[in-house]
Amino acid sequence: MTDNDTTPAIDRSPLAGRIVDTLIHRIGKDERAARKHDWLAATILTLRDEIIDKWMASTRQAHAAGAKRVYYLSLEFLIGRLLRDALSNLGRNAEVAEALASLGVDLAEIEEIEPDAALGNGGLGRLAACFMESMATLELPAYGYGIRYVNGMFRQRIDDGWQVELPETWLAHGNPWEFERRESAYFIGFGGEVTGNEAGHVHWKPAEAVEAVAYDTPVVGWRGKRVNTLRLWSARAFDPIRLDAFNAGDHIGALAGQARAESLVRVLYPSDSSSAGQELRLRQEYFFSSASIQDIVRRHVQYFGDIRTLPDKAAIQLNDTHPAVSVAELMRLLIDHHDLPFEEAWEVTRRTFGYTNHTLLPEALESWPLPLFERLLPRHMQLIYAINGRVLREARKSPSMGDHSVAAISLIDENGERRVRMANLAFVASHSVNGVAALHTELMKQTVFADLHRLYPERINNKTNGITPRRWLMGCNPALTALIRDAIGPAFCDDAAELRSLDSFADDASFRERFAEVKRSNKVGLSNFIRESTGLRLDPDALFDVQIKRVHEYKRQLLNIIETVALYDQIRSHPEKDWTPRVKLFAGKAASSYHNAKMIIKLANDVAKRINSDPSVGGLLKVAFISNYNVSLAERIIPAADLSEQISTAGMEASGTGNMKFALNGALTIGTLDGANIEIKDHVGDENIVIFGLTADEVAAKRAGDYRPREIIEGSRELSQAVNAIASGVFSPDDPDRYRDLMNGLYDRDWFMVAADFDGYAAAQRSVDARWADRSNWQASAVRNVARVGWFSSDRTIGEYAREIWGAM
Ligand code: TH1
């Protein structure tokens, strides 16, 4: 302690005392020397001590009940910050804030410096995080399994309008949430040879091996009812240093094994909705799958003795195909280590696994060159051949399966260089295969999985995505939450469907007024943040029109930007008209190797620069690209949005989940009939959403027919003016040809149908202007959005998984 500590100890609550005790004895600082990060760590560790008791109780209770456990395998968990979530789920917010205040520490300030755990790219990883929270909330005994990446999602800096990727070091100050479990370590082999003896016993002798070590993070459910485990694997060399080599003077070579092991968990592949396709990625996938499956099998045998009862006590869900090699790993353990005959092992495997598909984009369907797969995982390759033989024999028995269908079902793609198809492997090895929104599930049946669907017609089912209302309403929008509670009471906090009672308040003028005040104050908050970080001043009374998500051509940020340019033209040509003041907000990252996506980011920045400095559009139009989009930024932006842009080419966005977050926070959606937008429309009603554009069927028909984008562009005055302006360098005077190729891509091919949907989109935007003019009507629609999207809670989604796939409720 410091020599003249002035804070009188008697005024301190026991909680404040515990925080100080933690600070001193576990961080090793006294109150004087402590910095914000120390207070943050001390607060988390104190809270964690309390969580541990609940955590252990949860484990004991599942064990005593002999309960079925759910295992969610995902290469991505996009968690964000944990402190605020944990405090709120434990109902300890006020108490901890008070305790810290008595120590002169501002809780909000230390919450703000907690780094985002960004172990994911976008929607798929964020869905996994929402699911973890909902599984704990629904009191399901569940484990998430993933990789503890040292560098998660890169940090994005915008330099002169260009995206620059920097490593993010979320572990720089340590991670007070996690527990290293040295005792939970597994041998993971790669390469080598497979030998068999006469008795049919197979032996795989890997050429190299690393050790997987578990790190556990507690996941607290709503009201702290249950605490589940997120188990992330790190890698360690068995021989961290080869002393002989070191002593012989080879100081670098002596550490090569450790460096090689660490490279496995070093980085998250930063590609979203596309496949990474590198040997290291396959190694990551196998490393994490093998560790997780070994852990699951060990736990089962320890608790229940007989591995053949695994499907009764464990449900393993594959989050897309990234963990699909788990199927072959379980088969290997069952056959080679537990001596099950192939057929029995196959039965156990299929009854245990479920597979969720998240995209039909061809570039995202994982497949591995067969020689690579065989070299890295020779035993698994044998098993995949055996599985394939069994499946293809079954297919041949069905009279409706011709050669074409059999080739489509095969786990091996024989067109050109032979490849292992991970989606087919996941499909045949699972008793359930689900899509993530109704349209997407139908398209799965009609396109990529058409033949597999004919062979196994019961297997494909739909589970429309959801979001946790704890983070995406109560956490990020406390003012709206308080307003709702005042109006309808607290029942919605335990069941988001209860938000329905808010519906009638849409007709209550005084409620709408208060609702509008909350939105405005959120917009003021965001404007302040943007002013501080970029210098740009925004008018909080303008319409905040927001598109934040990964930058990808199918998501069509380009459509939005081109429309922005067209609007800019219109405002300049007709300054006398009654334009709606708008702020166009963009944020999002592009995969580092995705050229067009990076050009789109640069274009958004170039357009922003030009428009924001043009006095002729004055207060009517402002454009901002906010850098380094992540979960915490989303939590700040979404509560301040009036309009949510969900404008993907129909048939290409499997679901989307940002769309749900915006609607829950009272933004209206402008969107295509794609993914979950369709179901959002069904819930909020046609009058409370703005829909435009081609349907998925129309897109498919146009692609199959002769789509001529050049004619469409030339036939639309607004569109051709905007495209020409961009192509000719109006927004890039320093490099007039910068956008020539990007714009030529629209004239020549336009795979994402920007031209076909432009006029519809522009007209929809003008209808938004008209709605905005009738402000009370707009607010009524916004209230109805909040009231009617409770169904999109991930509690509902997880309930469906638990009952219909996992048999765990
Ligand atoms: C996304 C989908 O694009 C999105 O529509 C959906 O809402 C979300 O998953 C959750 O279901 C996907 N992200 C990825 C990332 C990778 C590969 C495929 C997909 S699909 C790396």
Say which residues have a Cβ less than 8 Å from residue 716's Cβ, sequence separation at least 6. Answer: 755, 758, 759
Alpha-carbon span 223 to 90, nearest angstrom: 5
List C-alpha distances in Å: 310 to 167, 299, 315, 751. Answer: 41, 10, 8, 46
CB of 123 sitting under 6 A from ligand 1:
yes
Output the pLDDT for position 198.
79
CB of 654 sitting under 6 A from ligand 1:
yes
What is the position in ligand 1's atom list of the atom closest to the CA of 269? 21
CB of 651 sitting under 6 A from ligand 1:
no
Q: What is the DSSP letter of 153?
A: S
Total residue length of the chain? 809
Give the gyration radius of the chain's Cα atoms.
Answer: 27
CB of 75 sitting under 6 A from ligand 1:
no
For ligand 1, mutation pick of 72, 74, 78, 124 (most atoms within 8 Å of CB)? 124
CB of 294 sitting under 6 A from ligand 1:
no
Q: What are phi and psi of 17, to 5 degrees?
A: -60, -40
Cα 656 to ligand 1 centroid, rounded to whole Å = 8
Alpha carbon nearest to ligand 1 atom 19, residue? 273
On the question of pLDDT at 399 being above 60, the answer is yes
Give the mean pLDDT of 634-645.
99
How many C-beta atoms surround the C-beta of residue 759 within 10 A? 17
Per the DSSP assignment, residues forming a β-bridge with 333 are none
What is the position in ligand 1's atom list of the atom closest to the CA of 359? 20
Cα 214 to ligand 1 centroid, rounded to whole Å = 26
Domain 539-789 classification at class level: alpha beta
Output the pLDDT for position 9.
53
- CA-based nearest residue to 144, from 74, 210, 83, 208: 74
Assigned fold of 66-81+116-465+798-806: Rossmann fold (3.40.50)
CB-CB contact of 268 with 120 (8 Å): yes
Say which residues have a Cβ less than 8 Å from residue 385's Cβ, sequence separation at least 6. Answer: none
In this structure, what token pair is assigned to residue 475? 């956490």
Alpha carbon nearest to ligand 1 atom 7, residue? 656
CB of 364 sitting under 6 A from ligand 1:
yes
Location of each CATH 3.40.50.2000 domain in the chain: 66-81+116-465+798-806, 539-789
Alpha carbon nearest to ligand 1 atom 16, residue? 273
For ligand 1, mutation pick of 147, 271, 272 (most atoms within 8 Å of CB)? 272
* Environment class of 454 (CB within 10 Å of its CB; exposed 0-12, middle 13-18, buried 19+): middle
Cα 662 to ligand 1 centroid, rounded to whole Å = 18
Output the pLDDT for position 10.
56
* Environment class of 3 (CB within 10 Å of its CB; exposed 0-12, middle 13-18, buried 19+): exposed
Residue 296, classed as helix, strand or coil, is helix
Cα 123 to ligand 1 centroid, rounded to whole Å = 5
Cα 653 to ligand 1 centroid, rounded to whole Å = 8
Cα 321 to ligand 1 centroid, rounded to whole Å = 11
Over the stretch 298-327, which tens digit does the pLDDT of each residue have?
999 999 999 999 999 999 999 999 999 999
- CA-based nearest residue to 381, from 367, 371, 391, 390: 371
Cα 126 to ligand 1 centroid, rounded to whole Å = 10
CB of 675 sitting under 6 A from ligand 1:
yes
Degrees to nearest 5, angle at CA 440 with 435 and 442: 95
Give the mean pLDDT of 493-503.
98
On the question of pLDDT at 2 being above 50, the answer is no
| Mean model confidence pLDDT for the chain | 96
Cα 439 to ligand 1 centroid, rounded to whole Å = 15
Output the pLDDT for position 4.
47
What is the position in ligand 1's atom list of the atom closest to the CA of 320? 18
Alpha-carbon span 345 to 347, nearest angstrom: 5
β-pairing, 77-80 vs 117-119, is: antiparallel
CB-CB contact of 549 with 637 (8 Å): no
What is the position in ligand 1's atom list of the atom closest to the CA of 127? 10
- CA-based nearest residue to 148, from 23, 30, 287: 287
Residue 468, classed as helix, strand or coil, is coil
- CA-based nearest residue to 117, from 634, 661, 633, 630: 630
In this structure, what token pair is assigned to residue 674? 């794609």
Output the pLDDT for position 1.
40
On the question of pLDDT at 3 being above 50, the answer is no
Say which residues have a Cβ less than 8 Å from residue 615's Cβ, sequence separation at least 6. Answer: none
Alpha-carbon span 603 to 716, nearest angstrom: 21
DSSP string, 227-294: EEEEEEEEEE-SSS--HHHHHTT-TTGGGHHHHHHHHHTTB----SSS----HHHHHHHHHHHHHHHH
Q: What is the DSSP letter of 116?
A: P
On the question of pLDDT at 11 being above 80, the answer is no
Over the stretch 177-236, which tens digit does the pLDDT of each residue have?
999 999 889 999 999 999 988 787 899 999 999 999 999 999 999 999 999 999 999 999
- CA-based nearest residue to 596, from 803, 498, 742: 742
Alpha carbon nearest to ligand 1 atom 18, residue? 273
Helix, strand, coil shares, percent, the chain, to 5: 55, 15, 30
Q: Please, what's the largest Cα pairwise distance for the chain?
A: 90
Alpha-carbon span 223 to 366, nearest angstrom: 39
Per the DSSP assignment, residues forming a β-bridge with 236 are 211
CB-CB contact of 210 with 264 (8 Å): yes
Cα 365 to ligand 1 centroid, rounded to whole Å = 11
CB of 152 sitting under 6 A from ligand 1:
no
On the question of pLDDT at 382 being above 50, the answer is yes
CB of 141 sitting under 6 A from ligand 1:
no
CB of 653 sitting under 6 A from ligand 1:
yes
On the question of pLDDT at 668 being above 90, the answer is yes
Cα 390 to ligand 1 centroid, rounded to whole Å = 31
For ligand 1, mutation pick of 273, 448, 653 (most atoms within 8 Å of CB)? 273
Could you tell me the end-to-end alpha-carbon distance of the chain, in angstroms, rounded to an integer? 52
In this structure, what token pair is assigned to residue 457? 């017609």
On the question of pLDDT at 173 being above 90, the answer is yes
Give the mean pLDDT of 50-75.
95
CB of 228 sitting under 6 A from ligand 1:
no
Say which residues have a Cβ less than 8 Å from residue 248's Cβ, sequence separation at least 6. Answer: none
What is the position in ligand 1's atom list of the atom closest to the CA of 653? 5
| Strand ranges inside 705-772, DSSP E | none
On the question of pLDDT at 618 being above 90, the answer is no
| Strand ranges inside 688-740, DSSP E | 690-691
Output the pLDDT for position 809.
84
Cα 437 to ligand 1 centroid, rounded to whole Å = 12
Alpha-carbon span 687 to 790, nearest angstrom: 18
CB of 557 sitting under 6 A from ligand 1:
no
Over the stretch 532-591, which tens digit does the pLDDT of each residue have?
999 999 999 999 999 999 999 999 999 999 999 999 999 999 999 999 999 999 999 999
Alpha carbon nearest to ligand 1 atom 21, residue? 272
On the question of pLDDT at 8 being above 70, the answer is no
CB of 655 sitting under 6 A from ligand 1:
yes
Catalytic residue numbers?
358, 549-550, 555, 657, 661
List C-alpha distances in Å: 730 to 492, 724, 740, 763. Answer: 51, 9, 11, 24
Fill in the amino acid letter for 752.
Answer: F
Whether the model pTM is above 0.95: yes
CB of 124 sitting under 6 A from ligand 1:
yes
Over the stretch 400-459, which tens digit does the pLDDT of each residue have?
999 999 999 999 999 999 999 999 999 999 999 999 999 999 999 999 999 999 999 999
CB of 659 sitting under 6 A from ligand 1:
no
Give the mean pLDDT of 16-31.
97
CB of 545 sitting under 6 A from ligand 1:
no
